[in-house]
Structure 1
Amino acid sequence: MINKEKQISGIAIKQVFLLVIILVLAGLICFNLALFIPSVLGAITIYVVCRKYNFYLQEEKKWKPWLASFVLMLASLIILILPIYFIADLLIDKLGNAQAYMAKFNIFLEKIHTYIDNKFGFDILSKENMDKVKGSVGKISTVALSGTFNTLTVIMSMYFILYFMLEKPRLFEKILTSSAPLKRANVSLIGDKMRKLIIANAIGIPVVAIGQGVVALIGYFIFGAPSPVLLFALTAAGSMIPVVGAAIVYVPVCVYMIAVGDTGPGLGLAVYCLVIVGLTDNLLRFTLLKKLEDIHPLNTVFGIIMGMNLFGFMGLIFGPILISLTLLLIQVYRNEFSDNETHPELQLPDKDDDADNKVDLIL
């Protein structure tokens, strides 16, 4: 006699079958539209940043939806996109000639190595390791630059998608909310956490990076560092890397200046960067980033590595968001299918006094 308790119910079979179909179709969509994934991520990022202003203009000021959308798109382009694109374009322009760049980099690295070896008797890198470093830097540069060449196409596609999000925001959020196969508390948790993560990554990290880059640029000009504008772009990009930060750029530059005989300016630049640039970093992080979502450094490290491989330069922002989103979805999965009905982490977000409290999905 068959034990009926061990039989798989017809409902469960239907659920599994439907889930398989959904996953297959989603996989086909993602595979064939993979080129537009950075554009979609960018559009969602800017939508979250502009969301409350969009509702304010459309619902409080009674602006036409198309006018509010175009104004916010223009503002985001000037404030958010152009500074990042400027740094990317600068790196492309300066490092576009890969052969000439690598020749200069090899001379730069050789002078630092020779100086440290002669001065302190410390062979910081053997010839074999030096060749490995040069090869690795060349590969990283090529990957970063090749991923950045399509930035303009990504931006154009991103704003095309963003317009339709901003024009009818209530409809867009209703579709997202109704499509999520989750409890309302989990949908609210995802919306609140994602809003904080996106704001921290899209605004906090670039502001800190550009702030450090500008302060370092002043020092590069004062002390006569080689290619100060290029070093500004590299310092801004390097400051996004946790732990080492901007030091990964200005420390080798200071050693190089001392190695070629500019001892005074090199030491002056070292003191300037350690004190002024370091103070700027701490000031911005403790005043700005502390008010935003606290992101673990490992999320940023692995997010940047993955993001650069997937999206090129834009991956500096999207990579950490995807890592944080993955961890968040694991938490939501545990909460969704746990036997306990009450979870302290699923408390609904505090009520805002903004106009955007009118929807359930808090982006």
Structure 2
Amino acid sequence: MPRTRVMPVDQQPARRIQPTQSYRQQQPGYPGQPGHPGQPGHSGQHPEPPATPRTPRRRRRGRRAVVIVAAVLVLLLAWPIGLLIWANGKITHIDALSGAPGQAAETYLLAGSDSRADGTLAGDPTEGQRTDTIMLLTKPPSGSASLISIPRDTYVAIPGHGNNKINASYALGGPELLVRTVEDFTGMTVDHYVEIGMGGVSALVDAVGGVELCSDLDVDDEKSGLVWTPGCHEADGTTALAFARMRYSDPKGDIGRTERQQQVIKAITAKVARPGTLVNPGAQVDLLSAGLAALAVDQDTGILDLGRLALAFRAATGPDGVRGTPPIADLNYRPGGVGSAVLIEPDAAARFFASVADGTVTIEEE
């Protein structure tokens, strides 16, 4: 029987294990497979094993930046919208408009009263039954915006009450009768009624940090409390209010007072429009709180209408706007029964207010 030679393990020849055909077919680099020398796609190097998928750091940073930008945009949009909603809910509304047909021009009747001890219009907005400032702010479709002051002692016909000074209409029938009287007198339709507690102007001036006012008068007026030397001075709320109220120490009387009232409101508007105020949320809340506490408006006027009023006022008090009073025939007219009154030129009044409505009004400088 032939012998079988058994060799030690460490002396046995190594056996080569050949890969199966199916395995060969799956591996790049073998003959007939892409990546093998001579086959399309071969780079001359052995293929690298696939890398583990990872999110690039730049992509993660980009997503974070997008989230931050989106949050900022939401805040920028939500703040003014929320502020408008809050402010709209703070407005005091009263019955005032007559319901007369509208006209092309947008007209605001601004009635200022200094009869409120605290300068606000909370509670009964007609308490005190007196209006000392009457202004027509008009923004026509084209032409000049205007701010026309009607002296409170102007002698007019008051519907249902005969002739009297125009501010008596407020005492007799509140805002509604004042609106009807102004419409009959001017031939214009009042679209918005805004009543301003002049005492509230003091808080508003303080809220904007004071305003610069100018006058050539030398005044020490006991009734208004104004002490003034000629020139321009920075005024706080108390001084600005006295500046707007004073008339007995003014040679122009009520006409001079209406001019100073316009100056005060213009100064406040300019201060409010400064970029530092517009981008300061705290200042915005303070201004709206002070301003809205001093206002009462008709039932149809909202916060957006007040915004348009501010733009119209800015246009009227700007270089292309017109400011002044109707043509006056007599500052000391005495028809009997009402004391001294202001008489507007009867023949010129209708033409004057027609030109206010169409934007062609002009005021001769004195």
Normalised to the residue count of structure 1, the TM-score between the two structures is 0.23
Determine which structure has more spread, i.e. the larger CA radius of gyration.
2
More helix by share: 1
User: Which structure carries more strand by proportion?
Assistant: 2
**Which one has more relative contact order, counting CA pairs under 8 Å at least 6 apart?**
1
